[in-house]
């Protein structure tokens, strides 16, 4: 089941996200996020942008959300997207379905473009974005450092329409 996230989902979302924080370079955060901090992030995001969760038998196993791409007013029709799944739930189509719902909501809300940032290499995320018609538009070398390694970041963009 896909539904909107609420701040009460913070503990389950931290359970998913903090695995990636502590064990991977997929996110550049380096310290686990507290439930209270995540609840605040959710509240701040859902005031303006969608944050969706995927539940199976009452258990939250993934989430996707969007936020501002940049703060300047001219960027108001562009959003940055994020998606995370519990590590044992990948490869089953959950991410694609969840992301499709997020993208549909952004398009319906009047967004023109969506940008996904990916710490590289991350072939599953690259394939997911490209399967949804995102195109790679940037590759920054060695812009992050985590676990004593330099990490590249790529950006993929999806444009909903080319109306002037």
As a whole number of angstroms, the distance between CA 49 and CA 26 comes to 22
Number of domains in the chain: 1
pLDDT in tens, 76-127: 999 999 999 999 998 889 999 999 999 999 999 999 999 999 999 999 999 9
Residue 128 belongs to domain spanning: 2-159
pLDDT band at 43 (very low <50, low <70, confident <90, very high): very high
Query: Is residue 117 helix, strand or coil?
Result: strand
In a domain, 57, yes or no: yes
- Residue 19 maps to which CATH number? 3.40.630.30
- What confidence score (pLDDT) does residue 91 get? 86
Evaluated on CA atoms 43, 46, 49, 53, the torsion sign reads positive
In a domain, 164, yes or no: no
């Amino acid at each position: 089941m896909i539904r909107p996230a609420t701040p009460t989902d913070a503990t389950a979302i931290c359970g998913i996200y903090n695995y990636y924080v502590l064990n991977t370079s997929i996110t550049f955060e380096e310290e686990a996020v507290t439930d209270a901090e995540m609840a605040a992030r959710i509240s701040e995001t859902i005031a303006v942008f969608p944050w969706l969760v995927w539940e199976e038998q009452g258990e939250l196993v993934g989430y996707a959300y969007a936020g501002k791409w940049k703060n300047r007013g001219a960027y108001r029709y562009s959003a940055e997207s994020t998606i995370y799944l519990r590590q044992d739930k990948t490869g089953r189509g959950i991410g694609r379905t969840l992301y499709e719902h997020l993208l549909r909501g952004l398009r319906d809300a009047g967004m023109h473009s969506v940008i996904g940032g990916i710490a590289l290499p991350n072939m599953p995320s690259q394939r997911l974005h490209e399967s949804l018609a995102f195109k790679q538009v940037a590759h920054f070398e060695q812009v992050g450092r985590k676990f004593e390694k330099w990490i590249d970041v790529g950006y993929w963009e999806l444009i909903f329409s080319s109306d002037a």
